[in-house]
Structure 1
Amino acid sequence: MSTQGNRMRGALFGDQLRNFKDAIVYNGTYEITNGTIKPMEDRWRKNPAELSYQMGFGKNTIIQPMDTETGPVLPNYLAIGQLPRSSDPSEKFDVMGIVLFVEEKPSQALIGQARTINVAEVVLMDHSSQQPLTVSTWDDLANLASEALLVKAQSLEPVGFTALKVSTHKGFSMTTTMSTEVILSPTGSEWLL
Protein backbone atom coordinates (compact mmCIF):
# COMPACT_ATOMS: atom_id res chain seq x y z
CA MET A 1 0.00 0.00 0.00
CA SER A 2 1.47 3.36 -0.95
CA THR A 3 1.27 6.58 1.05
CA GLN A 4 -1.48 7.67 -1.35
CA GLY A 5 -3.67 4.78 -0.28
CA ASN A 6 -3.51 2.91 -3.60
CA ARG A 7 -3.87 -0.83 -3.39
CA MET A 8 -2.52 -3.58 -5.60
CA ARG A 9 -3.78 -7.12 -5.53
CA GLY A 10 -1.35 -10.04 -5.29
CA ALA A 11 -2.11 -13.53 -6.53
CA LEU A 12 -0.91 -16.84 -5.09
CA PHE A 13 -1.68 -20.14 -6.81
CA GLY A 14 -1.25 -23.83 -6.01
CA ASP A 15 1.92 -24.62 -4.04
CA GLN A 16 2.55 -20.90 -3.54
CA LEU A 17 -0.22 -20.79 -0.93
CA ARG A 18 1.71 -23.25 1.24
CA ASN A 19 5.13 -21.77 0.43
CA PHE A 20 4.23 -18.18 1.32
CA LYS A 21 1.82 -18.78 4.21
CA ASP A 22 4.48 -18.17 6.86
CA ALA A 23 5.88 -15.10 5.11
CA ILE A 24 2.70 -13.02 5.02
CA VAL A 25 0.46 -12.10 7.97
CA TYR A 26 -2.93 -10.46 7.51
CA ASN A 27 -2.67 -6.65 7.68
CA GLY A 28 1.14 -6.82 7.83
CA THR A 29 3.38 -4.34 6.04
CA TYR A 30 6.08 -5.74 3.77
CA GLU A 31 8.78 -4.87 1.31
CA ILE A 32 8.36 -7.26 -1.61
CA THR A 33 11.15 -7.61 -4.15
CA ASN A 34 11.31 -9.62 -7.36
CA GLY A 35 7.54 -9.95 -7.65
CA THR A 36 6.15 -9.72 -11.17
CA ILE A 37 3.79 -6.83 -11.95
CA LYS A 38 1.30 -7.23 -14.77
CA PRO A 39 -1.88 -5.48 -15.90
CA MET A 40 -5.13 -6.66 -14.33
CA GLU A 41 -8.47 -6.64 -16.09
CA ASP A 42 -10.89 -4.09 -14.65
CA ARG A 43 -13.49 -6.78 -13.97
CA TRP A 44 -11.21 -8.24 -11.24
CA ARG A 45 -10.83 -4.93 -9.38
CA LYS A 46 -12.97 -4.82 -6.24
CA ASN A 47 -12.97 -1.02 -5.94
CA PRO A 48 -11.65 2.02 -7.85
CA ALA A 49 -8.85 2.61 -5.31
CA GLU A 50 -7.07 -0.56 -6.48
CA LEU A 51 -4.44 -0.09 -9.14
CA SER A 52 -5.09 -1.79 -12.46
CA TYR A 53 -2.07 -4.04 -11.90
CA GLN A 54 -1.50 -7.21 -9.91
CA MET A 55 1.59 -8.70 -8.36
CA GLY A 56 2.65 -12.30 -8.89
CA PHE A 57 4.94 -14.21 -6.53
CA GLY A 58 7.63 -16.48 -7.92
CA LYS A 59 10.60 -18.43 -6.65
CA ASN A 60 12.75 -15.26 -6.73
CA THR A 61 10.28 -13.20 -4.68
CA ILE A 62 11.55 -12.06 -1.27
CA ILE A 63 9.12 -10.78 1.36
CA GLN A 64 10.60 -8.76 4.22
CA PRO A 65 8.48 -7.40 7.08
CA MET A 66 8.39 -3.61 7.53
CA ASP A 67 7.60 -1.50 10.57
CA THR A 68 5.22 1.26 9.43
CA GLU A 69 7.11 3.85 11.50
CA THR A 70 10.77 2.86 11.23
CA GLY A 71 10.97 1.02 7.88
CA PRO A 72 12.60 -2.40 7.34
CA VAL A 73 12.78 -4.69 10.34
CA LEU A 74 16.48 -5.05 11.12
CA PRO A 75 17.94 -8.47 11.93
CA ASN A 76 18.00 -9.50 15.57
CA TYR A 77 20.90 -11.92 15.47
CA LEU A 78 21.02 -14.72 18.01
CA ALA A 79 24.23 -16.50 18.89
CA ILE A 80 24.25 -20.11 17.70
CA GLY A 81 24.37 -21.29 21.32
CA GLN A 82 21.17 -19.33 22.08
CA LEU A 83 19.03 -20.95 19.39
CA PRO A 84 16.21 -23.04 20.84
CA ARG A 85 16.55 -26.72 19.95
CA SER A 86 12.80 -26.92 19.37
CA SER A 87 10.38 -24.13 18.63
CA ASP A 88 6.96 -23.27 17.32
CA PRO A 89 6.94 -23.95 13.55
CA SER A 90 6.04 -20.31 12.89
CA GLU A 91 9.06 -18.92 14.79
CA LYS A 92 11.92 -17.53 12.73
CA PHE A 93 15.42 -16.63 13.84
CA ASP A 94 18.25 -14.44 12.55
CA VAL A 95 21.74 -15.92 12.79
CA MET A 96 25.21 -14.62 11.99
CA GLY A 97 28.33 -16.70 11.82
CA ILE A 98 31.64 -17.44 10.17
CA VAL A 99 31.18 -19.68 7.12
CA LEU A 100 33.19 -22.88 7.60
CA PHE A 101 31.82 -24.91 4.70
CA VAL A 102 29.56 -24.48 1.67
CA GLU A 103 28.52 -27.19 -0.75
CA GLU A 104 30.15 -26.19 -4.02
CA LYS A 105 27.30 -27.47 -6.11
CA PRO A 106 23.68 -27.62 -4.91
CA SER A 107 22.11 -31.06 -4.86
CA GLN A 108 18.63 -31.85 -6.12
CA ALA A 109 15.84 -32.66 -3.66
CA LEU A 110 12.58 -34.23 -4.79
CA ILE A 111 9.52 -32.42 -3.44
CA GLY A 112 5.84 -32.64 -4.15
CA GLN A 113 4.71 -34.12 -7.41
CA ALA A 114 8.01 -35.26 -8.92
CA ARG A 115 9.36 -31.70 -8.72
CA THR A 116 13.02 -31.12 -7.92
CA ILE A 117 14.53 -28.13 -6.17
CA ASN A 118 18.12 -27.08 -5.44
CA VAL A 119 19.40 -27.42 -1.88
CA ALA A 120 22.85 -26.62 -0.49
CA GLU A 121 24.19 -26.86 3.03
CA VAL A 122 26.14 -24.07 4.70
CA VAL A 123 27.99 -24.64 7.98
CA LEU A 124 28.39 -21.68 10.37
CA MET A 125 30.28 -21.20 13.62
CA ASP A 126 30.46 -18.45 16.22
CA HIS A 127 31.96 -17.84 19.68
CA SER A 128 28.94 -19.17 21.60
CA SER A 129 29.08 -22.86 20.75
CA GLN A 130 31.53 -25.67 20.09
CA GLN A 131 28.96 -27.22 17.75
CA PRO A 132 28.72 -25.70 14.27
CA LEU A 133 25.30 -24.95 12.80
CA THR A 134 24.13 -26.38 9.48
CA VAL A 135 21.80 -24.17 7.42
CA SER A 136 19.96 -25.77 4.50
CA THR A 137 19.50 -23.21 1.74
CA TRP A 138 16.80 -23.86 -0.84
CA ASP A 139 16.12 -22.89 -4.44
CA ASP A 140 17.74 -19.58 -5.46
CA LEU A 141 19.42 -19.24 -2.06
CA ALA A 142 21.11 -22.58 -2.75
CA ASN A 143 22.58 -21.09 -5.91
CA LEU A 144 23.76 -18.05 -3.96
CA ALA A 145 25.29 -20.36 -1.36
CA SER A 146 27.32 -22.18 -3.95
CA GLU A 147 28.67 -18.93 -5.41
CA ALA A 148 28.96 -15.91 -3.09
CA LEU A 149 29.24 -17.88 0.15
CA LEU A 150 32.19 -19.90 -1.16
CA VAL A 151 34.15 -16.64 -1.23
CA LYS A 152 33.11 -15.90 2.36
CA ALA A 153 34.18 -19.39 3.45
CA GLN A 154 37.65 -18.89 1.99
CA SER A 155 38.12 -15.55 3.74
CA LEU A 156 36.42 -16.59 7.03
CA GLU A 157 34.14 -13.54 6.92
CA PRO A 158 30.79 -13.46 8.75
CA VAL A 159 27.47 -13.84 6.96
CA GLY A 160 23.98 -13.15 8.28
CA PHE A 161 20.84 -15.18 7.63
CA THR A 162 17.41 -13.82 8.50
CA ALA A 163 14.11 -15.62 9.06
CA LEU A 164 15.49 -19.15 9.49
CA LYS A 165 13.36 -21.97 10.89
CA VAL A 166 14.48 -24.79 13.16
CA SER A 167 14.74 -28.14 11.39
CA THR A 168 15.26 -31.56 12.89
CA HIS A 169 15.58 -33.42 9.58
CA LYS A 170 19.24 -34.38 10.18
CA GLY A 171 19.56 -33.56 13.85
CA PHE A 172 19.36 -29.91 14.90
CA SER A 173 19.81 -27.51 11.99
CA MET A 174 18.17 -24.47 10.42
CA THR A 175 16.44 -24.06 7.08
CA THR A 176 15.72 -21.05 4.92
CA THR A 177 12.20 -19.74 4.35
CA MET A 178 10.56 -17.56 1.73
CA SER A 179 11.48 -14.55 3.92
CA THR A 180 15.15 -15.46 4.35
CA GLU A 181 17.70 -12.91 3.27
CA VAL A 182 21.41 -13.71 3.09
CA ILE A 183 23.39 -10.69 4.25
CA LEU A 184 26.91 -10.96 2.90
CA SER A 185 28.29 -7.99 4.88
CA PRO A 186 26.29 -7.89 8.12
CA THR A 187 26.66 -4.98 10.49
CA GLY A 188 27.43 -5.67 14.11
CA SER A 189 29.64 -8.65 13.22
CA GLU A 190 32.24 -7.61 15.82
CA TRP A 191 30.32 -9.59 18.48
CA LEU A 192 31.42 -12.79 16.75
CA LEU A 193 35.02 -12.32 17.88
Structure 2
Amino acid sequence: MRCALFGDQIEAYEEVLKPSSQYEISKAPITAVDDQYKFNLEELPYQMTHQTIIQRLNPESGPIKPNQEHAMTISTWNDLTRKPCDAMNNWAEKFNVVGFTALKTRHTRGFTLNTTMSTRIIMNLKGARADMLREWCKLYQHVLLDRQERILNVRYPSTDKKVVTIAELRRKKATNATPDEIAWIKVIIPKADLQRVNAYISCLGCGKRTHLALGTRFPCISCKKGDTVAVHKVTFKFEAVDDTGTMSFTTFSDDTEKHFRRTAT
Protein backbone atom coordinates (compact mmCIF):
# COMPACT_ATOMS: atom_id res chain seq x y z
CA MET A 1 0.00 0.00 0.00
CA ARG A 2 1.32 3.43 -0.92
CA CYS A 3 1.42 6.10 1.77
CA ALA A 4 1.69 9.87 1.23
CA LEU A 5 2.58 12.60 3.70
CA PHE A 6 1.56 16.20 3.05
CA GLY A 7 2.77 19.59 4.24
CA ASP A 8 3.89 19.72 7.87
CA GLN A 9 3.59 15.94 8.19
CA ILE A 10 6.76 15.49 6.14
CA GLU A 11 8.95 17.31 8.67
CA ALA A 12 7.08 15.88 11.66
CA TYR A 13 7.76 12.28 10.57
CA GLU A 14 11.28 12.89 9.24
CA GLU A 15 12.95 11.32 12.29
CA VAL A 16 10.28 8.66 12.74
CA LEU A 17 10.09 6.79 9.45
CA LYS A 18 13.32 4.98 8.52
CA PRO A 19 14.00 2.57 5.62
CA SER A 20 13.79 -1.15 6.47
CA SER A 21 12.23 -0.46 9.88
CA GLN A 22 9.00 -2.04 11.09
CA TYR A 23 6.03 -0.04 12.31
CA GLU A 24 2.57 -0.49 13.71
CA ILE A 25 -0.06 1.72 12.06
CA SER A 26 -3.23 2.03 14.09
CA LYS A 27 -6.43 4.05 14.47
CA ALA A 28 -6.36 4.92 10.77
CA PRO A 29 -9.78 6.02 9.44
CA ILE A 30 -10.24 4.64 5.92
CA THR A 31 -11.97 6.87 3.37
CA ALA A 32 -12.41 6.88 -0.38
CA VAL A 33 -9.78 8.69 -2.44
CA ASP A 34 -10.46 10.81 -5.52
CA ASP A 35 -9.21 9.48 -8.85
CA GLN A 36 -7.21 12.69 -9.37
CA TYR A 37 -4.89 11.76 -6.47
CA LYS A 38 -4.09 8.25 -7.71
CA PHE A 39 -0.80 7.39 -9.37
CA ASN A 40 -2.59 4.84 -11.52
CA LEU A 41 -6.14 3.52 -11.84
CA GLU A 42 -5.14 0.06 -10.54
CA GLU A 43 -4.68 1.38 -7.00
CA LEU A 44 -7.21 0.58 -4.31
CA PRO A 45 -9.62 3.53 -4.05
CA TYR A 46 -8.94 4.07 -0.32
CA GLN A 47 -6.69 6.19 1.86
CA MET A 48 -5.71 6.42 5.53
CA THR A 49 -6.63 9.86 6.80
CA HIS A 50 -5.88 12.13 9.78
CA GLN A 51 -5.59 10.75 13.34
CA THR A 52 -3.41 7.86 12.16
CA ILE A 53 -0.87 6.71 14.77
CA ILE A 54 2.53 5.36 13.66
CA GLN A 55 4.78 3.58 16.20
CA ARG A 56 8.10 1.76 15.78
CA LEU A 57 8.06 -1.95 16.67
CA ASN A 58 11.75 -2.15 17.59
CA PRO A 59 11.78 -1.99 21.43
CA GLU A 60 15.46 -0.97 21.49
CA SER A 61 14.81 2.18 19.49
CA GLY A 62 13.09 3.91 22.43
CA PRO A 63 10.02 6.12 22.41
CA ILE A 64 9.30 8.60 19.63
CA LYS A 65 9.74 12.01 21.19
CA PRO A 66 7.79 14.99 19.82
CA ASN A 67 10.24 17.10 17.83
CA GLN A 68 7.69 19.56 16.52
CA GLU A 69 4.57 21.09 18.06
CA HIS A 70 1.55 22.22 16.09
CA ALA A 71 -1.47 24.22 17.18
CA MET A 72 -4.78 22.48 16.67
CA THR A 73 -8.23 24.01 17.02
CA ILE A 74 -10.80 21.75 18.71
CA SER A 75 -14.41 22.94 18.77
CA THR A 76 -16.56 21.51 21.56
CA TRP A 77 -20.31 21.20 21.33
CA ASN A 78 -23.30 20.56 23.58
CA ASP A 79 -22.57 19.19 27.08
CA LEU A 80 -18.78 19.33 26.61
CA THR A 81 -18.89 23.13 26.57
CA ARG A 82 -19.87 23.16 30.25
CA LYS A 83 -18.12 21.32 33.08
CA PRO A 84 -15.32 19.57 31.09
CA CYS A 85 -14.25 22.77 29.33
CA ASP A 86 -14.66 24.88 32.48
CA ALA A 87 -11.95 22.74 34.07
CA MET A 88 -9.50 23.90 31.38
CA ASN A 89 -10.12 27.64 31.71
CA ASN A 90 -7.14 28.22 34.00
CA TRP A 91 -4.70 26.01 32.10
CA ALA A 92 -3.33 28.69 29.79
CA GLU A 93 0.08 28.76 31.49
CA LYS A 94 0.29 25.16 32.69
CA PHE A 95 0.35 23.25 29.39
CA ASN A 96 -1.32 20.19 30.88
CA VAL A 97 -1.62 17.01 28.82
CA VAL A 98 -5.25 16.23 28.02
CA GLY A 99 -6.84 13.39 26.08
CA PHE A 100 -9.70 13.68 23.58
CA THR A 101 -11.49 10.67 22.13
CA ALA A 102 -13.68 10.26 19.03
CA LEU A 103 -13.06 13.62 17.35
CA LYS A 104 -14.07 14.24 13.74
CA THR A 105 -12.20 16.32 11.20
CA ARG A 106 -13.43 19.47 9.55
CA HIS A 107 -11.74 21.15 6.58
CA THR A 108 -13.62 24.45 6.35
CA ARG A 109 -10.95 27.20 6.30
CA GLY A 110 -8.16 24.93 7.42
CA PHE A 111 -7.95 21.64 9.30
CA THR A 112 -9.78 21.58 12.65
CA LEU A 113 -11.31 18.96 14.94
CA ASN A 114 -14.87 18.85 16.27
CA THR A 115 -16.29 16.87 19.16
CA THR A 116 -18.97 14.25 18.60
CA MET A 117 -21.59 12.50 20.72
CA SER A 118 -18.88 9.95 21.66
CA THR A 119 -16.13 12.45 22.60
CA ARG A 120 -14.68 12.30 26.11
CA ILE A 121 -12.18 14.76 27.61
CA ILE A 122 -9.70 12.84 29.79
CA MET A 123 -8.22 15.24 32.35
CA ASN A 124 -5.94 12.80 34.17
CA LEU A 125 -4.37 11.08 31.19
CA LYS A 126 -2.29 8.01 32.10
CA GLY A 127 0.31 5.99 30.25
CA ALA A 128 3.91 6.15 29.02
CA ARG A 129 3.13 8.51 26.14
CA ALA A 130 1.31 10.95 28.39
CA ASP A 131 4.20 10.90 30.89
CA MET A 132 6.68 11.49 28.09
CA LEU A 133 4.69 14.52 26.89
CA ARG A 134 4.56 15.94 30.41
CA GLU A 135 8.34 15.68 30.71
CA TRP A 136 8.74 17.32 27.30
CA CYS A 137 6.46 20.19 28.38
CA LYS A 138 8.61 20.80 31.46
CA LEU A 139 11.85 20.82 29.48
CA TYR A 140 10.60 23.00 26.63
CA GLN A 141 8.12 25.32 28.32
CA HIS A 142 9.86 28.31 26.72
CA VAL A 143 9.07 26.83 23.30
CA LEU A 144 5.41 26.42 24.22
CA LEU A 145 5.19 29.96 25.64
CA ASP A 146 6.64 31.39 22.45
CA ARG A 147 4.28 29.33 20.32
CA GLN A 148 1.32 30.35 22.48
CA GLU A 149 2.18 34.06 22.15
CA ARG A 150 2.40 33.85 18.37
CA ILE A 151 -0.92 32.01 18.11
CA LEU A 152 -2.68 34.57 20.30
CA ASN A 153 -1.22 37.42 18.24
CA VAL A 154 -2.68 35.86 15.10
CA ARG A 155 -6.10 35.12 16.58
CA TYR A 156 -6.39 38.43 18.41
CA PRO A 157 -4.35 40.82 16.25
CA SER A 158 -3.61 44.37 17.27
CA THR A 159 -5.01 47.27 15.28
CA ASP A 160 -1.47 48.25 14.22
CA LYS A 161 -0.80 47.56 10.57
CA LYS A 162 2.67 46.51 9.57
CA VAL A 163 3.62 46.64 5.92
CA VAL A 164 5.98 43.82 5.00
CA THR A 165 7.71 42.91 1.78
CA ILE A 166 7.38 39.66 -0.11
CA ALA A 167 10.99 38.89 0.80
CA GLU A 168 10.09 39.15 4.50
CA LEU A 169 7.10 36.86 4.03
CA ARG A 170 9.30 34.39 2.18
CA ARG A 171 11.77 34.33 5.08
CA LYS A 172 8.95 33.68 7.54
CA LYS A 173 7.70 30.86 5.35
CA ALA A 174 11.19 29.34 5.13
CA THR A 175 11.53 29.29 8.92
CA ASN A 176 7.93 28.09 9.42
CA ALA A 177 7.30 31.18 11.54
CA THR A 178 3.87 32.63 12.22
CA PRO A 179 3.52 36.36 11.46
CA ASP A 180 3.34 38.40 14.67
CA GLU A 181 0.60 40.63 13.34
CA ILE A 182 -1.57 41.18 10.31
CA ALA A 183 0.77 41.59 7.36
CA TRP A 184 -0.15 44.27 4.86
CA ILE A 185 1.70 43.79 1.60
CA LYS A 186 2.13 46.71 -0.73
CA VAL A 187 2.13 44.94 -4.08
CA ILE A 188 1.06 45.21 -7.67
CA ILE A 189 -1.50 42.54 -8.55
CA PRO A 190 -1.70 41.85 -12.29
CA LYS A 191 -5.02 42.24 -14.05
CA ALA A 192 -7.37 39.48 -13.02
CA ASP A 193 -7.08 36.58 -15.45
CA LEU A 194 -10.23 34.46 -15.65
CA GLN A 195 -8.06 31.57 -16.84
CA ARG A 196 -6.81 31.34 -13.25
CA VAL A 197 -10.28 31.14 -11.76
CA ASN A 198 -11.23 27.62 -10.71
CA ALA A 199 -14.98 27.20 -10.19
CA TYR A 200 -16.26 23.83 -9.08
CA ILE A 201 -19.03 22.04 -7.15
CA SER A 202 -18.25 20.88 -3.64
CA CYS A 203 -19.62 19.99 -0.22
CA LEU A 204 -21.18 22.97 1.55
CA GLY A 205 -19.46 22.08 4.83
CA CYS A 206 -15.84 21.20 4.00
CA GLY A 207 -15.44 22.42 0.41
CA LYS A 208 -14.40 18.96 -0.86
CA ARG A 209 -14.93 18.68 -4.62
CA THR A 210 -17.79 16.46 -5.77
CA HIS A 211 -19.03 15.25 -9.16
CA LEU A 212 -22.67 15.40 -8.05
CA ALA A 213 -25.11 17.84 -9.61
CA LEU A 214 -25.56 21.27 -8.03
CA GLY A 215 -28.09 21.22 -5.20
CA THR A 216 -27.84 17.47 -4.61
CA ARG A 217 -28.12 16.42 -0.97
CA PHE A 218 -25.64 13.69 0.01
CA PRO A 219 -23.57 12.28 2.92
CA CYS A 220 -20.02 13.66 2.71
CA ILE A 221 -17.28 11.10 3.36
CA SER A 222 -14.72 13.87 3.88
CA CYS A 223 -16.27 15.90 6.72
CA LYS A 224 -18.50 12.98 7.82
CA LYS A 225 -21.68 15.05 7.54
CA GLY A 226 -24.66 12.78 7.06
CA ASP A 227 -26.64 15.38 5.14
CA THR A 228 -24.96 18.16 3.16
CA VAL A 229 -25.58 19.82 -0.18
CA ALA A 230 -23.50 20.32 -3.35
CA VAL A 231 -22.79 24.04 -3.88
CA HIS A 232 -20.58 26.25 -6.03
CA LYS A 233 -17.07 27.11 -4.76
CA VAL A 234 -14.35 29.13 -6.46
CA THR A 235 -10.64 29.84 -6.07
CA PHE A 236 -8.34 32.33 -7.80
CA LYS A 237 -4.57 31.97 -8.18
CA PHE A 238 -2.40 35.00 -8.89
CA GLU A 239 1.13 36.36 -8.64
CA ALA A 240 1.78 39.36 -6.37
CA VAL A 241 4.80 41.54 -7.16
CA ASP A 242 6.76 44.17 -5.25
CA ASP A 243 10.31 45.52 -5.34
CA THR A 244 11.70 42.47 -3.51
CA GLY A 245 10.19 39.65 -5.53
CA THR A 246 7.16 37.69 -6.61
CA MET A 247 4.93 35.32 -4.63
CA SER A 248 1.98 33.11 -5.54
CA PHE A 249 -1.29 33.46 -3.65
CA THR A 250 -4.68 31.74 -3.75
CA THR A 251 -7.97 33.32 -2.68
CA PHE A 252 -10.90 31.10 -1.73
CA SER A 253 -14.62 31.53 -2.22
CA ASP A 254 -15.44 34.57 -0.04
CA ASP A 255 -12.40 36.62 -1.05
CA THR A 256 -12.63 35.57 -4.69
CA GLU A 257 -16.25 36.69 -4.85
CA LYS A 258 -15.29 40.08 -3.37
CA HIS A 259 -12.40 40.46 -5.81
CA PHE A 260 -14.51 39.82 -8.91
CA ARG A 261 -17.67 41.38 -7.44
CA ARG A 262 -19.74 38.37 -8.42
CA THR A 263 -20.84 35.13 -6.78
CA ALA A 264 -19.24 31.74 -7.32
CA THR A 265 -22.34 30.72 -9.22
User: Which is richer in helix?
Assistant: 2
TM-score (norm 2): 0.26
TM-score (norm 1): 0.34
User: Which is richer in strand?
Assistant: 1
The structure that has the greater radius of gyration is: 2
